[in-house]
Amino acid sequence: MVHANAQMERRFIIALGISLLVFLAELFGGWWTGSLALLSDSAHVFLDVFALAISYVALRAAALPADDRHTYGWHRLEVFAALANGITLLAITVAIFFEAWRRLQNPAPIHSAEMLVIATIGLVASLATARVLREHHADDLNAHSAFLHVIGDALASLGVIVGGVVMLLTDWYALDPIISAFIGAIIVVSSWRVLRGSLHILFEGTPEGIAIGDVAQAMGNVKGVQDVHDLHLWSICSGYPALSAHVLVTNAASDTTTAQMAVLKQTLAERFNIRHTTIQFETTNCGQGTVVCQNDS
């Protein structure tokens, strides 16, 4: 686990370095060529730099041990970092759409050839960054949000390249603000995905890919379990599901419940990857919570 975290940290640092260089190149290139699309892309890349920096800080903080005041440790920092990324992404689109509309009314000449070269460099760099982050993006919300940022950059750079070619051949400069609006749309989509995932965790929603009915049924199938009630499923952070439940059993003998607890924990870990559990055994239903699984036999 420590080795995996160290490897992820190195990948974030590499991705951060590449993104910072691309941001500076596109910022200067957008100013030099007069391209709003290139400036919009540089804004998107700047948010990648911001996202990766926050992600790296959150990753380091999440590795800190739990203490008396923070019994789950600092895992939630990852979720708040992803939430901040999503909000900043949405905020920047307002400025992009406004400037795109203004320029669409009065298109300005663009240095299309120079714009094309810089956008191509940005595309290659974004693909390289995506490759660096690819290994961990499916397992971690923060890495996933950073990966989405970078993929959005690659698509935006591709749009700028296509636009550069068209403007180079036709002098249709109105295409530049149109492309910037397209980049803004990409930002909106990627930010919504990040916001939805982070808010779902903060509101303690059921972990993605886990159906609470399936979990209850699997627990109810354990020998000696009569019903499962007051069942709760949530996530501490992405990839870290937690469960609490009351389990009504027919036999309260310590050796029996010890064996049942072992089977329940094994079932939850193997079938649903739920390893953080709080299970309370009862011989009579306490009346708390809703019964989600009941065996009549």
Q: What is the pLDDT of residue 1?
A: 45
Query: 78: domain CATH number?
Result: 1.20.1510.10
Report yes or no on 207 lying in a domain.
no
Distance CA 195, CA 201 (A): 10
Query: 247 and 130, same structural domain?
Result: no
Give 4 or 179, the one with higher predicted confidence.
179
Average confidence (pLDDT) over 81-90: 80
Distance CA 38, CA 22 (A): 11
Structure tokens given for 199: 């808010």
Q: What is the pLDDT of residues 202-254, one digit of tens each?
A: 999 999 889 999 999 999 999 889 999 999 999 988 778 999 999 999 887 77
Find out whether 23 and 100 touch, Cβ atoms under 8 Å: no
- The residue range of the domain holding 238 is 212-294
Report yes or no on 43 lying in a domain.
yes
The sign one gets for the Cα dihedral 185, 174, 172, 23 is negative
Average confidence (pLDDT) over 140-157: 72
Q: Which helix (H) or strand (E) holds 230?
A: strand 225-237
Q: What is the pLDDT of residue 33?
A: 83
DSSP class of residue 30 equals H
- Given a cut of 80, whether residue 135 has pLDDT beyond it is no
Find out whether 112 and 153 touch, Cβ atoms under 8 Å: no
Query: 155 and 53, same structural domain?
Result: yes
Nearest partner of 249 among 219, 279, 281, 218, judged by Cα: 281
Q: Which helix (H) or strand (E) holds 247?
A: strand 240-249
Q: What is the pLDDT of residues 35-70, one digit of tens each?
A: 888 887 787 787 778 777 777 777 777 677 878 888
- Given a cut of 80, whether residue 142 has pLDDT beyond it is no
- Given a cut of 70, whether residue 184 has pLDDT beyond it is yes
Q: For 37, what's the count of Cα atoms within 13 Å in the CB-facing half-sphere? A: 35
DSSP class of residue 206 equals P
Q: What is the pLDDT of residues 106-127, one digit of tens each?
A: 887 888 888 888 888 888 888 8
Q: What is the pLDDT of residue 217?
A: 92
Query: 176 and 290, same structural domain?
Result: no
Domain count, the chain: 2
| Structural domain ending residue among the three candidates 139, 172, 202 | 202
**Average pLDDT along the chain:** 82
| Structural domain ending residue among the three candidates 202, 225, 253 | 202
| Structural domain ending residue among the three candidates 153, 173, 202 | 202
Distance CA 63, CA 210 (A): 26
Give 65 or 266, the one with higher predicted confidence.
266
